[in-house]
Structure 1
Amino acid sequence: MINPRSQYNFILLLLVFFSFEGHSQEYWNNIVKKPSSLGLENGFIEVKTSEFNLKLVKTSQTVAGLYPVADANFDFTPGERLEIRDKDSLYHLGDLNLTLKNTQGDWVNYSSAYKRKPVEKLSVKGNVLMASDMTNTFPEELPVNIKRYYEEDNGNLILRFVLKNTSDAPLEIGALGVPMIFNNILEGKSLDEAHADNVFFDPYIGMDAGYLEVKHLSGKGSALLVLPEENMPFEAYRPLLDDPTRRSIVFEGFHEWMSLSKAYAVNQWKGVQQWNKPTSILLKPDEEKDFAVKFVLAKSIKNVQQSLIDHKMPTAVGVPGYVLPKNVNGQLFIKNSSKIKNIAVEPQGAISIEKKQQLKSGYVAYQVNGQQWGRARITIDYEDGKQQTINYKIIKSEAEVIADFGHFLTTEQWFDNEEDPFNRNPSVISYDYEAKKQVTQDSRAWIAGLSDEGGAGSWLAAMMKQYVQPDKEEIDKLSEFVHKTLWGTIQYAEGENKYGVKKSVFYYEPDSMPKGTYNDTINYKTWAAWNHKHANDPGRSYNYPHVTAAYWVMYRLARYHTGLVENKPWDWYLKQAYHTAIAMTELAPYYAQFGQMEGTVFLNVLKDLKREGINDLAENLEFKMKERADHWKSLNYPFGSEMPWDSTGQEEVFMWSDYFGYTEKAAITLNAVLAYMPTMPHWAYNGNARRYWDFLYGGKLSRVERQIHHYGSALNAIPVLKAYQNSPDDFHLLKVGYGGLLGGISNITKDGFGPAAFHSFPQTLEIDYLSGDYGSGFFGYAINSTSYLTKTADFGWVSFGGNIKSNKDKVEMMLTTAAKNKVFIAPEGLLITLDAGSINKVGYNEKEKEVRLYLNPKNDYTPTAFLQSNKNVNLPFKMDNGAYKIPLSEKESEIVIKL
């Protein structure tokens, strides 16, 4: 039953959806009115390989359907919308874009999609399935003849373009791109339909080693890989903004694979550091050149790397990934049939790379160390002429990054204006890094209103920072925030034990506020400029985890440390966390039926209530959460939210499904996460959970665009890494999860500012300048930060979150995380967690089944370590709250664990 207030809130929040859907429907209507130009009335051509069924439009020979033989009803392309999308300027697989320099020295763009005309069918022989001269569909003045071939290669499909210079002068081709048109239009689909029909796609923009992977939303079934076949290095990935298919919260948009991009780099992308060096080519008079990509199938998402090897692609595996802290000895494993000729680093000196050894698995092992903060690129040239690039992000040590972050939040973003009419003082408020000032007003009420992800993000991050790296001065400020602003302003009591959370503290109501309150340069005539009544609505469940997390951190600081929190006893904070969680189910029941971002905090509260023996509260919270989990269990794909499709509810759905033993639902959830969270040799996309609309709601540069390491990366790392702990032989999970974990802090600036995300469009490739909703992702980093020690068949001993030394059966890992409070020994499935205290290093003797922990000395606030484990480790210390209570000394303490 939806109460009226929640129902009203639901309708209000969906206005954003309908506003985009309304525009989208208008766009579709405009598209439908345009005359058809593909020639669908003339029928189709169907050709086959042993892997694919290919359907072509007879008149245009563009792709009308691409079906894997093993799943003949599934179409990777948006063929289901073909009768709507059969118009000029709407791209299809099989189209080609190119840019040529004219005699005046200007770059001129050409496309087969702009003004359709019938192509000329060519005779075929050998492995050619279908061919055409497509020059007709380009402008008459085009000084190039273009032929297109669909070919078979051992069951795989090749799309080839042959360009011939028909002029009497050399032609510079400054851009050449093949539109990658796959079915990610989610409009009008239920979640069940979308998971059955649609795909995700992710690019590895890595030159001749680059590829595009296209996956079912469900994460099941075969994955389509697009590979470079001839003269098609993956140089750039350009959004096709000229395709009129409306970008919205139900459609990220189409992109093209570019093998040449210089023309854009000197014009539209001028001054922006690209992922790869932009290039062009000269085509002599009468010279022909082939450009081809290959379509192959991998058996599954986890089989992608092996499929690349099978197709003779250079492959790379980075440990701990491609976000590399300066104090970490990274490893890079390269495998290719051709030997390495040269390795270069840009900027010069940004990364040191040293060959270590040739492994029996065929990989060559290198040690990589970050030397210079910022983006860096490794370029590998092979003897066979292929080139591979690997993009890294070098950051400070995790401890330094987090310290800088905490300092920035509690100084530059610390708001303490006693005259503030919205009672936001004191608090950590949103920040504009470009303007170098706090955001006290915005047309989106939540940005300046300390609630919602976009407004609560900064103070949530400041609270979670203390969980990772407690700082007494910062905690004193945040304690003041909790007791003066959080409780009583953002959160309030509505009846007995109903602790509502407002949608926003800031609101727009000029008639009730003093003149001059609102900046007249801001456009407040939008749906997002909530009035006081709307801002006070407690019906948005997504606000409750932020508040719960703040209380939970304060509980942990008060419970396990001495003198850090002095306002209230530890149990007060734990009970406040409990009441907030319960209030969500009672005051925001509609959205509470969905998984919440940061919903893992409710599970942590439950576990702590049980450990503290507060059984009546624990039983009630567990009952409420099981009701939600039972609802998810009844759904095929329980990932709904206030958006038509989302990538944040999966976190909490997985964690509760795992907790309650709903293994089938947990597996479905995990597979869905792996479908939109790839692992590939590029820091921006490795572990990057799909997200593309939140720049509209929490960013400064507002547009629909794939966001690089938005909060989804670190939040989705929670279920992926928990799944790895459940199945420590699945190395794929560790690579994906850790990519998301470190991706969660990759965008923090050198001076400590945490931005909403990084912009992927090649005309930007920079952080967004608003703090926005970053805090939700930092929550994922904070509670998930763990050092992993594992042994793999291909690489031997490797560590994520530490530096290792190994000697046969013995291995030692120095921890490099910021908190240094969690260690997972994969061969034993052993997770060690310190509620207080930190670990300097860990030793593991595989033969003797022995683990040695070396705990750091005590400090003024942490005289005692509290150690818990997922296994019975039988240590000679007293138990307290389910953990071993270990007195720390002035020196390092050694703890021996026999397994």
Structure 2
Amino acid sequence: MNKYNRQLLLIFLLLGFSQFTKAQGYWENLASKPSTLGLEEGIDTYKTKNFILKLVKASQTVAGLSPAAEPGFDFTPGDRLEIRGKDGLYWLGDLNFRMKNTSGEWVSYSTASARKPVTPLEASAPVLAAADLSATLPDDLPVHITRYYEDVEGDLVLRFRLKNTSETSVELGALGIPMAFNNILEGKSLDETHAQNVFFDPYIGEDAGYLEVKRLSGVGSGLLVLPAENMPFEAYRPLIDDPSPRSVVFEGFHEWMAHSEAYAEQEWKGIEQWNEPTSTTLKPGESKNFALKIVPTTGVRGTQQKLSEEKRPVAIGIPGYVLPQDVKAQLFLKYSKKVASMRVEPEGSLLITEEEPAKNDYVKYNVQGKTWGRARLTIVYADGLKQTVNYKVIKPETEVVKDFGQFLTTEQWFDEEGDLFKRNPSVISYDYETKRQITQDSRAWVAGLSDEGGAGSYLGAMMKQFILPDAEELQKMEAFIDGTLWGVIQDAEGDRKYAVKKSIFYYEPNTMPEGTYSDTINWKTWAAWNKEHADDRGRSYNYPHVAATHWVMYRLGRYHKGLVTNHSWDWCLKNAYGTAVAMIEDAPYYAQFGQMEGSVFLFILKDLQKEGYAEMAQDLETRMKARADHWKSLNYPFGSEMPWDSTGQEEVFMWSDYFGYDAKAQITLDAILAYMPTIPHWGYNGNARRYWDFLYGGKLSRVERQIHHYGSGLNAIPVLTAYRENPDLYLLRVGYGGTLGAISNITQDGFGPSAFHSYPSTLRIDYHSGDYGPNFYGYAINTATYLTEDADLGWLAFGGNLNETKKEISVEVTTAAKNRIFIQPEELWITLEAGKVAEASYNKKNGEVSLTLMPKDAFTPFAYISLTEGFKMDYPVERGMYKVPLGGEPVEVTITKEP
């Protein structure tokens, strides 16, 4: 079976026959529609220094856009000209807009709605091609539109000129240009998608906005789309009217909107947008240009340099754009014109103060979040250019995590006596809109404590204990482990005692008492598994949740006194090992792929080694190496049941890195960076692309770019691991953006939603807890304080507040865990298995590091500290860690270099 057919089979197995055939049917229906693009009249080709541009003669829409040095690569879906050459399907070069009619109502127009051949116009440099678009628009349109493709010093400018031909003023309430680049993955293998397809990420930042277009591989040439004239990036509208079927293989297209007021008054009414919606008015006889510029970039890191070259504003937020209220953040701005004004909305939500200019023309501002929620900073420069930076202000991390644990173990704590599915006691899924636990759902796993959409809540509760343990909450989790997880999810029969079922909940009305199932739920779907299906042990993605649960209990039992009372620490570690082995034995097919939270198996292995369990460690390492060897043999070794996915990369990178498969680890990291950008916007900064999991774990079910779904937290694990191995500020910004993004959607009262809806018609959290647990796993594994020095920006802190003197740099630790610190100049990684650090100081002259350890608590008499090789402390060593006694007062310890 070839890779493509295997992927189709996997989609078939996941989605069910009806879902699969429905998606296939959409493409077949598309192919059967009459072609209106005029392909029979041929294609015109134009060349600039940087690009090869192909235009359909009849429509003058873009049929191809290639780098001049690589004519075989196309940034647009030009490989689907035939199937997509129909009315209503968008191409680069189309225009959408809304105008008010004589009755004062908004009316929509599009050059793609009812295509007719446009009228070509004579062109001379710098114009490559031009056309009168009147023929493809209604006859009574009071505006005349001309489109131009221009060569500007080798770059490409797409310009629309709108002229009011009527005797009255015309108000444009919406104007957008579809960004139809090639993100259609349907029918392709992983090798093909990484060679042929692109992803694109928006900075919805008004005049300073841009769109990054990057290859799936993360290497090679890319694009940057910039405002050229009257095209601020005001809104990013999903083109859901394009009939191309959106699914796991097509996220859909969006359009860059310069004006959006008409949508804000109608489809988006009552929704606070990223930017203030606007309109524009053309007086009788008045003309106005709307233009975008497309420029080339190299790799995924070229945006900042290209912005500077193009004399565009550059903004860098440290530690990012998710602001815990106790963090003193910075915003560095670089532009040729001075800042004329700043405005914060809501008023008082951010405190902005200017500091001295930094190096290399950057100006530094201190930023502190004051009011919980979304906040928008609007910057106006002396030349009138307007830039917006969207922030999310959250509680201090410790409070966020405490609230999260409290919510999980109270509002989501399920202990209904006599539950027919034996889910009690447990942390169960939750509907935040209705404020009710989800005990029934047509997707069996959501109510069945399994898969990510159902196991996410108990996983989140366990990972909360990992970084901020609470004795009362742990007692409940112990009851869950002994009464539900161990007794029901895992089958205690014979040597298969670690096998993990697909779901505890199932739909089988013929074998259950009458009235068991709600008659308000549609049970006629593939996802309403019967008992046989729910009992299946072959879904590997369920095993890491269980393994992580046992591993956390091992850590708590091993390094604390009296926190874990139900089992010994070695019992917990052995069960974590047993679950890892069972995944490979009982779910071998899916286990060939990287798992979400798969990094936990590496942590289990290292703890087995640390404890001297040589036989188990060798067994687990051998099994995992077989998987890593398989990945090494593949060009792009991060497949899953989906044709493309952004979750397997976490585990693939970690094992490739562990076994020294450096080339494969780099390929994996490059791919992660292709879909995980750093952008001056809290929603997209460090947001690893996910766009289908609202279908499987959300309440509002649709294909949609998800803001800080679990891809953010999980993919930050390899990014930050790579940073610590080879410090690079770009990696730190991306990884930390994903780490704080992972907790950015937790509500003020502690509810953890599956993700945030990016559609401008919604812009809120999803109301189901869904698969948030893996996201919090990423936060718990990643949360750390980083102290680094940058040539342009100076000394920086991520996860702490910086204080600099002539002699030393100190950082007050603000993370919830307060147990990990990286000192970049020394490449020193400090980790605490128990104990917390209040402050760290770095002596710039001799490299000495001092830690202020917080006093002991009832369960933590010792701090256990691990250091990078080459550093030491004057304390006894136990199992490779320094054991430091804690007392009733803070303890000062010193780290020095070994001679």
For Structure 1 versus Structure 2, the TM-score category normalised by the shorter chain is over 0.9
2:75 matched to 1:60?
no
How far did 1:498 drift? 4.6
Residue in structure 2 matched with residue 750 of structure 1 by the alignment:
748
2:302 matched to 1:299?
no
Runs of at least 5 residues in structure 1 that lack an aligned partner in the other structure: 2-6
Question: Within 1, Cα distance between the matches of 2:780 and 2:14?
Answer: 33
The CA deviation string for residues 399-447 of structure 1, in whole angstroms up to 9 with x for no partner, is 0000000000000000001210000000000000000000000000000
Secondary structure at the aligned position of 2:44 is classed as strand
Question: Within 1, Cα distance between the matches of 2:747 and 2:53?
Answer: 47
Residue in structure 2 matched with residue 432 of structure 1 by the alignment:
431
How far did 1:807 drift? 2.0
Aligned residue identity for 2:827: G
User: Does the 8 A contact of 2:358 with 2:794 survive in 1?
Assistant: no
User: Does the 8 A contact of 2:125 with 2:151 survive in 1?
Assistant: no
Residue in structure 2 matched with residue 258 of structure 1 by the alignment:
257
Residue in structure 2 matched with residue 721 of structure 1 by the alignment:
720
Residue in structure 2 matched with residue 846 of structure 1 by the alignment:
844
User: Does the 8 A contact of 2:14 with 2:641 survive in 1?
Assistant: no
Question: Within 1, Cα distance between the matches of 2:424 and 2:563?
Answer: 22
How far did 1:630 drift? 0.4
The CA deviation string for residues 728-770 of structure 1, in whole angstroms up to 9 with x for no partner, is 1x11000000000000000000000000000000000000000
User: Does the 8 A contact of 1:497 with 1:579 survive in 2?
Assistant: no
2:621 matched to 1:614?
no
User: Does the 8 A contact of 2:260 with 2:279 survive in 1?
Assistant: yes
User: Does the 8 A contact of 1:20 with 1:249 survive in 2?
Assistant: no
2:872 matched to 1:866?
no
Q: How does 1:682-721 map to 2 (within 5 A)?
A: 682-721=681-720
The CA deviation string for residues 255-286 of structure 1, in whole angstroms up to 9 with x for no partner, is 10000000000000000000000000110000
Question: Within 1, Cα distance between the matches of 2:73 and 2:644?
Answer: 20
Residue in structure 2 matched with residue 4 of structure 1 by the alignment:
none
Question: Within 1, Cα distance between the matches of 2:493 and 2:78?
Answer: 52
How far did 1:18 drift? 5.5
Question: Within 2, Cα distance between the matches of 1:442 and 1:670?
Answer: 37
User: Does the 8 A contact of 1:688 with 1:712 survive in 2?
Assistant: yes
Q: How does 1:180-191 map to 2 (within 5 A)?
A: 180-191=179-190
How far did 1:808 drift? 3.5
Question: Within 2, Cα distance between the matches of 1:249 and 1:429?
Answer: 27
Question: Within 2, Cα distance between the matches of 1:589 and 1:882?
Answer: 34
How far did 1:20 drift? 4.3
* Aligned CA distance change for structure 1 residues 13 and 572 (closer, same or farther; 3 Å): farther
Residue in structure 2 matched with residue 885 of structure 1 by the alignment:
883
Q: How does 1:188-267 map to 2 (within 5 A)?
A: 188-267=187-266
User: Does the 8 A contact of 2:450 with 2:504 survive in 1?
Assistant: yes
User: Does the 8 A contact of 2:706 with 2:756 survive in 1?
Assistant: yes
User: Does the 8 A contact of 2:656 with 2:664 survive in 1?
Assistant: yes
Residue in structure 1 matched with residue 518 of structure 2 by the alignment:
519
How far did 1:126 drift? 2.5
Secondary structure at the aligned position of 1:348 is classed as coil
Residue in structure 2 matched with residue 457 of structure 1 by the alignment:
456
The CA deviation string for residues 451-478 of structure 1, in whole angstroms up to 9 with x for no partner, is 1100000000000000010000000100
How far did 1:493 drift? 3.0
How far did 1:497 drift? 5.5
Residue in structure 1 matched with residue 501 of structure 2 by the alignment:
502
Aligned residue identity for 2:642: M
2:270 matched to 1:271?
yes
How far did 1:496 drift? 1.9
> Runs ≥4 in structure 1, deviation > 6 angstroms?
9-13
Residue 808 (structure 1) aligned to one of 803, 806, 809: 806
2:444 matched to 1:445?
yes
User: Does the 8 A contact of 1:428 with 1:458 survive in 2?
Assistant: yes
How far did 1:847 drift? 1.3
Question: Within 2, Cα distance between the matches of 1:11 and 1:815?
Answer: 45
The CA deviation string for residues 577-599 of structure 1, in whole angstroms up to 9 with x for no partner, is 00000000000000000000000
Aligned residue identity for 1:833: T
Secondary structure at the aligned position of 1:150 is classed as strand
Question: Within 2, Cα distance between the matches of 1:265 and 1:746?
Answer: 25
Secondary structure at the aligned position of 1:71 is classed as coil
Residue in structure 2 matched with residue 796 of structure 1 by the alignment:
794
Residue in structure 2 matched with residue 574 of structure 1 by the alignment:
573
User: Does the 8 A contact of 2:375 with 2:390 survive in 1?
Assistant: yes
Question: Within 2, Cα distance between the matches of 1:138 and 1:686?
Answer: 38
How far did 1:637 drift? 0.3
How far did 1:25 drift? 2.3
How far did 1:872 drift? 3.3
How far did 1:125 drift? 1.8
Residue 733 (structure 2) aligned to one of 713, 725, 735: 735
How far did 1:360 drift? 2.4
Residue in structure 1 matched with residue 832 of structure 2 by the alignment:
834
Q: How does 1:533-682 map to 2 (within 5 A)?
A: 533-682=532-681
How far did 1:15 drift? 4.2
How far did 1:222 drift? 1.6
* Aligned CA distance change for structure 1 residues 756 and 208 (closer, same or farther; 3 Å): same
User: Does the 8 A contact of 2:873 with 2:896 survive in 1?
Assistant: no
User: Does the 8 A contact of 1:328 with 1:816 survive in 2?
Assistant: yes
How far did 1:835 drift? 0.2
2:453 matched to 1:493?
no
Secondary structure at the aligned position of 1:688 is classed as coil
Aligned residue identity for 2:341: N
Q: How does 1:326-337 map to 2 (within 5 A)?
A: 326-337=325-336
Question: Within 1, Cα distance between the matches of 2:316 and 2:543?
Answer: 39
User: Does the 8 A contact of 1:639 with 1:646 survive in 2?
Assistant: yes
Question: Within 2, Cα distance between the matches of 1:678 and 1:666?
Answer: 19
Mean Cα deviation higher: 843-852 or 660-669: 843-852
Question: Within 2, Cα distance between the matches of 1:104 and 1:209?
Answer: 36
Question: Within 2, Cα distance between the matches of 1:571 and 1:474?
Answer: 21
Question: Within 1, Cα distance between the matches of 2:16 and 2:870?
Answer: 50
Aligned residue identity for 1:895: V
Residue in structure 1 matched with residue 386 of structure 2 by the alignment:
387
Secondary structure at the aligned position of 1:552 is classed as helix
Residue 778 (structure 1) aligned to one of 769, 776, 781: 776
User: Does the 8 A contact of 1:13 with 1:642 survive in 2?
Assistant: no
Residue in structure 1 matched with residue 823 of structure 2 by the alignment:
825
How far did 1:502 drift? 0.6
Question: Within 2, Cα distance between the matches of 1:246 and 1:658?
Answer: 38
Q: How does 1:394-409 map to 2 (within 5 A)?
A: 394-409=393-408
Residue in structure 2 matched with residue 157 of structure 1 by the alignment:
156
TM-score (norm 1): 0.98
The CA deviation string for residues 629-676 of structure 1, in whole angstroms up to 9 with x for no partner, is 000000000111111110000000000000000000000000000000
Aligned residue identity for 1:805: N
2:785 matched to 1:787?
yes
Residue in structure 1 matched with residue 324 of structure 2 by the alignment:
325
User: Does the 8 A contact of 2:632 with 2:661 survive in 1?
Assistant: yes
Residue in structure 2 matched with residue 474 of structure 1 by the alignment:
473
Aligned residue identity for 1:528: A
Aligned residue identity for 1:826: Q
Question: Within 2, Cα distance between the matches of 1:91 and 1:564?
Answer: 59
User: Does the 8 A contact of 2:320 with 2:682 survive in 1?
Assistant: yes
Secondary structure at the aligned position of 1:489 is classed as helix
Secondary structure at the aligned position of 1:493 is classed as coil
Q: How does 1:313-392 map to 2 (within 5 A)?
A: 313-392=312-391
Aligned residue identity for 1:659: Y
The CA deviation string for residues 217-237 of structure 1, in whole angstroms up to 9 with x for no partner, is 000012200000000000000
Question: Within 2, Cα distance between the matches of 1:11 and 1:654?
Answer: 23
Residue in structure 2 matched with residue 290 of structure 1 by the alignment:
289
Question: Within 2, Cα distance between the matches of 1:689 and 1:215?
Answer: 13
Secondary structure at the aligned position of 1:512 is classed as coil
The CA deviation string for residues 785-838 of structure 1, in whole angstroms up to 9 with x for no partner, is 110000001100001000001123510000000000000001111100000000
User: Does the 8 A contact of 1:10 with 1:590 survive in 2?
Assistant: no
Aligned residue identity for 1:110: Y
Question: Within 2, Cα distance between the matches of 1:11 and 1:164?
Answer: 52
Residue in structure 2 matched with residue 875 of structure 1 by the alignment:
873
Secondary structure at the aligned position of 1:402 is classed as helix
Question: Within 1, Cα distance between the matches of 2:872 and 2:121?
Answer: 77
Secondary structure at the aligned position of 2:601 is classed as helix
Runs of at least 5 residues in structure 2 that lack an aligned partner in the other structure: none
Number of positions where the alignment pairs a residue of Structure 1 with one of Structure 2: 893
Aligned residue identity for 1:355: E
Question: Within 2, Cα distance between the matches of 1:137 and 1:180?
Answer: 19
